[in-house]
A and B are shown apart, each in its own frame.
Chain A
């Protein structure tokens, strides 16, 4: 009986959480579309979310591109196909690794920061203060962060694509002695607009997920410093899992069609 009760409690909590998140997303979308829109705060958030994430995304993609080139070279060598390194690095980075790894790195940095900031505002009554000052917290706090992250992530993914391909290029030309001009030419010839654009679409969705999970967990945090810490952890974990799940779904949709 206790076992059944535990299962029941788990599912009730899960559905309650899902419902609350759905309402939160609905309120955020409404806040994003209806004025006032706080352009100055959106600008500030673009700098915090996009600009300050550049180093971590750049380093991640560079090393990933390099590692991918090594893996393909030695994997491909068995079939005497090292020539395909450039094309598979380009494909892997633009379609999957650029947006997904970039998204995961930004989730770790940005989702946590957003949850900590909004969570602290919640437990110190700053969100209540906003409401009593006739300012909608969804419009003032949540919408600018979600808009900024959704706009920034495709740009970060594009930069990750370029640097990731460059990482593969450096390893291919310096370690394996590929001809630089041929490597570049093969990359350009093989890559299509759809490869890049599918990654950028994914990145925009990941940006939305990163910001919404940070805001949601921070907004409903409670219990002082411990509660803020819990919200931060939950934000990163939930954003990361949702990014991977959304990536699978979008890959299925984008490439099956």
Chain B
């Protein structure tokens, strides 16, 4: 069976800095894959490459078996149409009220009239447990949690087949984190969508992942099911999921393994 999303040997550099060094990852239809990894590890670059916001230097990114690397924006319109995206900070349009944000794609691309677009927004907001009283508010007047939920409503409003989540719980309190994780899981289940999430948050990983991949220094160095995650003896994975300062993962260019620390002392 063809993978819904397939990355093969994807490389991307900025100047002399190699950010992606041969990423290989497959996401099956209906699967929820979470990519974890430290800051600066290339997660966002990988996501932007899949979305076509960045062009990889080499390698292949296929969506539904169709090569997307090198495709002009116009030529991937049908692919874009089946994708929803929740950005880290929501990326809601400041100049538009909540309902126009949520129904943006339907208004701009499908020519939906305002009455139907408002109904669509009400429905999408209901799915993220928000009421119609928010419809005419400006995004600037929303709290961080509401911002994320409206962003989620916008991502699912067009009922996409694939949804990407960029750090969906960053900056939220633990209760709101749990709310967002549940909403993601419920919305995805309801839509039957394929999802890819990038996060640092292990609570999110355990709540929403079918499969987890660890991206380190531009390569996927471990991938497996959520159950395998808990029992793996991979030293990189263990250091990351347990949040340990010491281990094989270099933090900010400095290797903090036990031996070095002892030597320093």
* B85 contacts A132, C-beta separation under 8 Å: yes
**Which residues of chain B are near A134, meaning CB under 8 Å?**
77, 80-81, 105, 108-109
* A129 contacts B109, C-beta separation under 8 Å: no
**A126-B94, A136-B73, A140-B108 given as contacts; is B89 within 8 A of A131 (CB)?**
no
Asked if A17 lies at the interface with its beta carbon under 8 angstroms from chain B, I say no
Scan A70-84; emit 1 where CB is below 8 A from any B CB, else 0.
000000000000000
Query: A194 → chain B, closest Cβ, in Å?
Result: 41
A133→B77 CA distance, assembly (Å): 10
A-B interface pairs (CB < 8 A), number: 52
* B87 contacts A125, C-beta separation under 8 Å: yes
How many A residues, CB 8 Å from partner?
15
A120→B140 CA distance, assembly (Å): 13
Query: A28 → chain B, closest Cβ, in Å?
Result: 15
Among A121, A125, A136, chain B packs the most CB atoms within 10 A around the CB of A125
Asked if A135 lies at the interface with its beta carbon under 8 angstroms from chain B, I say yes
Asked if B126 lies at the interface with its beta carbon under 8 angstroms from chain A, I say no
**Which residues of chain A are near B24, meaning CB under 8 Å?**
none
**A134-B105, A134-B109 given as contacts; is B73 within 8 A of A125 (CB)?**
no
With both beta carbons as reference points, the residue of chain B lying nearest to A132 in the complex is identified as B85
**A126-B94, A128-B53 given as contacts; is B87 within 8 A of A133 (CB)?**
no
Query: B52 → chain A, closest Cβ, in Å?
Result: 8
- Residue in A121, A124, A130, A133 whose CB lies within 8 Å of B89: A124
* A125 contacts B89, C-beta separation under 8 Å: yes
With both beta carbons as reference points, the residue of chain B lying nearest to A140 in the complex is identified as B108
**A125-B89, A128-B87, A129-B85 given as contacts; is B94 within 8 A of A135 (CB)?**
no
With both beta carbons as reference points, the residue of chain A lying nearest to B155 in the complex is identified as A132
**A125-B87, A140-B108 given as contacts; is B80 within 8 A of A132 (CB)?**
yes
Asked if B189 lies at the interface with its beta carbon under 8 angstroms from chain A, I say no
**Which residues of chain A are near B108, meaning CB under 8 Å?**
133-135, 140
Asked if B91 lies at the interface with its beta carbon under 8 angstroms from chain A, I say yes
Query: B153 → chain A, closest Cβ, in Å?
Result: 13
A136→B73 CA distance, assembly (Å): 9
**Which residues of chain B are near A128, meaning CB under 8 Å?**
48, 51, 53, 87, 91
A126→B94 CA distance, assembly (Å): 9
Among A120, A130, A133, A135, chain B packs the most CB atoms within 10 A around the CB of A133
- Residue in B73, B77, B91, B105 whose CB lies within 8 Å of A126: B91
**A131-B73, A133-B105 given as contacts; is B91 within 8 A of A125 (CB)?**
yes
A121→B139 CA distance, assembly (Å): 13
Asked if B177 lies at the interface with its beta carbon under 8 angstroms from chain A, I say no
Query: B15 → chain A, closest Cβ, in Å?
Result: 13
Top-3 shortest CB links A-B: A129-B91, A125-B91, A132-B85
A-B contact list, 20 entries, CB within 8 Å: A124-B89, A126-B92, A128-B48, A128-B51, A128-B53, A128-B87, A129-B87, A129-B91, A131-B73, A132-B83, A132-B84, A133-B104, A133-B109, A133-B154, A134-B80, A134-B108, A135-B105, A135-B108, A135-B109, A136-B73
Chain A residues proximal to chain B, CB less than 8 Å:
120-121, 124-126, 128-136, 140
Chain B residues proximal to chain A, CB less than 8 Å:
48, 51-53, 73, 77, 80-81, 83-85, 87-89, 91-94, 104-105, 108-109, 154
